[in-house]
Structure 1
């Protein structure tokens, strides 16, 4: 039995649904609490998944449930907020967006455990989305917390894929303040969720909708886009957090009243602590800041069939400590903390923890002598025109070049970067460029 084989995804979904409905692992191990003898029920279960009867015995079924429990035990207690609002599932057909995304992650070298973590956290969020509103036209508002550079974008794409498969049809990603990074995020999501083969859904990227003389450009005219219940179209817009783009987006969303009523929106706020926070004095009757107000205009709108605002950040202090009124962006419905992947490298991995003692630092940290620090500092502050001592920097640059060469030799083609940070001022970085270029020139000019 190959536990990670996609043909068993349906059985994993069955286990999770039973757990969500109140059964425990002991009942599932022994197939207790069902209306049939356990051996008959197991065969019926296998039949629903188009698996042969000899695929499992009662013993191997117990092994399968045990593995599932071990794979998912660390995920419990990660969600704050118990509301499950829908009957969404994790699709198993190969043409589904989730299975396409899963396949693309495997091709990228993601480990099965990392993909399981993405599935668990993404599915947990999807279960807490509304697709019909809650009568009072309140949107869902949640927060997803992940470590810095720990793969939050992968989880966002997982959320989009599972939500798309389960009927949500408009996805908006609020992505920072730099347009080149916005375009990069859009291209990555589209690439991750699509394939050259068969696809059950059709993703359409909405690229900065604009109005001319009061009319929307034909390509993005909602009159020409099918958003009916059985439509296979899914819309994706990656929008900068600036006033003009958000206003154009809002105008486009509301450009067709009937189509707006068919929109089941998932509004993802990437780096939610950047620009999205209302920094005005909330103790006085002062309007919220512009970006915050425009995001609220989408998140709190009753013009759409459903709206879900999901904030992503590695630094949740501002989203959690900001105003908590019903119209704010406060994550009143749920908060989830993502697990770091097994290959994640952060401060704890690099520098270790004194408590507990079993988290030692890696042997990757090198101390720089006081003399070299003084020499570099004097150069960066203008006290000296040249940097007389940069031995450790030179060594680090050479090690980086050797590492790049080794990875390229092994056919690793992803971008590789070396970060050098010696000060908070731009002028300091400009001066440091001279030292780096001098070392590179010295390295490559040697015979």
Structure 2
């Protein structure tokens, strides 16, 4: 800054705390003062399409002049899975055949969301759904089969719907990678931890 008789510095940054933490008392004999913004600091309003951590997780403010930012409804606790897989179980546990309604609705929502993307022309993009309900590989293998069965029911339901045209490949599972998958055309449901890989395709 001492290279000029008169100088002004205006910083525009997405990480304002980096400037706030600059030592305001630094005054180098040759280089002069540091770039601490002691003249003014202004915050710019976020655009309407900005999606930062405040928007995702919410923010409770201490200033009465500001309003709290509500979080997005990304996490939805479920209370209907305890009878299917208890939160505490052993590696020998066998889940019941009756998947909880929340999981069945999640699978159906995933299928519908994937279909909507296709309608929009997004046919070469990846779609995936993660199902992780246990840390035991054997239990997760059973879950994989149950999720595959539920996805097959949705697949055959769509295939038999009036006015629906769906191209079909072989309905029998065939192994691909080490990760167990149920692939509805390009979308897939990944069940973490299962030993036996398998893919069902439309």
- Normalised by the size of structure 2, how large is the TM-score? 0.46
The higher relative CO (CA closer than 8 Å, separation ≥ 6) is in 1
Structure with max Cα Rg: 2
Higher helix share: 1
- Normalised by the size of structure 1, how large is the TM-score? 0.23
